[in-house]
Amino acid sequence: MGIFKKKQAAESVDFTALPEHIAIILDGNGRWAKRRGMPRTAGHAVGSENFRKIATYCNDIGIKYLTVYAFSTENWKRPDDEVSTIMSLLEKYIIEAIDEVRKKNLRLCFWGSRAGLSEHIKKLMDESEKESRDMTGMQVNVCLNYGSRNEIKEAVSKIARDVSADKIKPEEISEDMIDSYLYSAGTPAPDLLIRPGGEKRLSNFLLWQLAYSEMVFTDKLWPEFDERELDRAIIEFQKRNRRYGGI
Ligand code: FPP
C-alpha cells in the first residue's frame, strides 16, 4: 500500500432493488423552527413543502407506495393555533395535490378516522381519493387523524359485527382477513420505515403493518431530510438481510 489511503467507493442506491413501500414518520418540524428562532408552525410549513419534494423524488425513482404519518389521534393535544396551522397546510396540500395526481398519475389515499375533522377537509379528502382511485402510479397514503391502536380496535369491532350478522364465522378469521379490515387494506406492508428527528419509537404508527419492516432512524430533523438522506436510508435498507422469522 502506498502512502495514500485506498479511496472508499461511494455507496449508491441499487435502483433495481428498491423497497416497494416506504413509510415515514414526519418528526422534528417544531425543533427545526425553534432552533432558528421561528414559531413551530413555520417548521410545519417547511416540513409540508419537504414532503412534497421527497414524494416527488420517490415517484421519480420508482417507489410504488409512500405512507406518511402527518397527524396522529394524539396530536389534537397540541395548542389550537398549531393544530389549525397543520390542518390548513393539509388542506393546501390536498388542493394542490389534486392537480399533481392528474399530471403524475398518482393515487392519493387517507388513512385514519374522519371523526373530528372539518367538513371542508373531509370533502377534499373524499374528492381527491375519488379523483385518483384508478391512477396506476405511486400511491401516497396520508395518515391523518391516525392511530394504529384505534385502527386495530375499529377492525376488531367490524369483524365482531360481521360475525354477529353471520357474514363470517369465527374460525374463518385469518391474518389476511384482519388485513382486509384495516385502513391499509389492499396495500402491501411497508418494506422500510424511516423516522427522522432522533426519536426511536413507533408512536402508534402502523403497529400491525410494520411487523417485518426494516427501520431506519436518523437524527436529521424532517425539514432538513433531503433526497440524499432518503438515498442513505435506502442504502441502509439494501444492506439488511430480511428473514421474516426464517434463517
Ligand atoms: C412532527 O413534527 C410533525 C407533525 C406532527 C405535523 C406534520 C404535518 C404537516 C407538516 C402538515 C402537512 C403534511 C403533509 C403530509 C403535506 P413535530 O412538531 O413533532 O416536531 P418536534 O418533535 O420537533 O416538536
Q: Which three cell numbers stand for residue 179?
A: 388485513
pTM equals: 0.94
Task: Provide the Cα torsion 120, 109, 219, 27; round to 10°.
Answer: 20
Percent of the chain with pLDDT over 70: 96
For the segment 64-89, what is each residue's pLDDT rounded down to a tens digit?
999 999 999 999 999 999 999 999 99
Atom of ligand 1 nearest to the CA of 197: 22
Q: Which residues' Cβ are closer than 6 Å to ligand 1?
A: 26-31, 44, 47-48, 51, 68, 70-71, 75, 86, 89-90, 93, 142, 197
Residue numbers annotated as active site: 27, 75
Atom of ligand 1 nearest to the CA of 199: 22
Q: What's the order of all strands across the beta sheet hosting 107-111? A: 107-111, 139-146, 65-72, 21-25, 192-195, 214-217
| Residue whose entry in the numeric block shows the C-alpha cell 423516522 | 195
Among protein residues, the one whose CA lies closest to atom 8 of ligand 1: 70
CA–centroid distance, residue 47 to ligand 1 (Å): 7
C-alpha pair distances (Å), 188 with each of 51, 64, 130, 154: 21, 10, 21, 20
Q: Is 99 exposed, middle or buried, given 0-12, 13-18 or 19+ CB atoms closer than 10 A?
A: exposed
For the segment 90-113, what is each residue's pLDDT rounded down to a tens digit?
999 999 998 888 899 999 999 999
CA–centroid distance, residue 65 to ligand 1 (Å): 20
Q: Which three cell numbers stand for residue 10?
A: 461511494
CA–centroid distance, residue 239 to ligand 1 (Å): 29
Among protein residues, the one whose CA lies closest to atom 24 of ligand 1: 30
Atom of ligand 1 nearest to the CA of 33: 23
For the segment 143-195, what is each residue's pLDDT rounded down to a tens digit?
999 999 999 999 999 999 999 999 999 999 999 999 999 999 999 999 999 99
Among protein residues, the one whose CA lies closest to atom 6 of ligand 1: 70
CB-CB contact of 216 with 193 (8 Å): yes
CA–centroid distance, residue 78 to ligand 1 (Å): 11
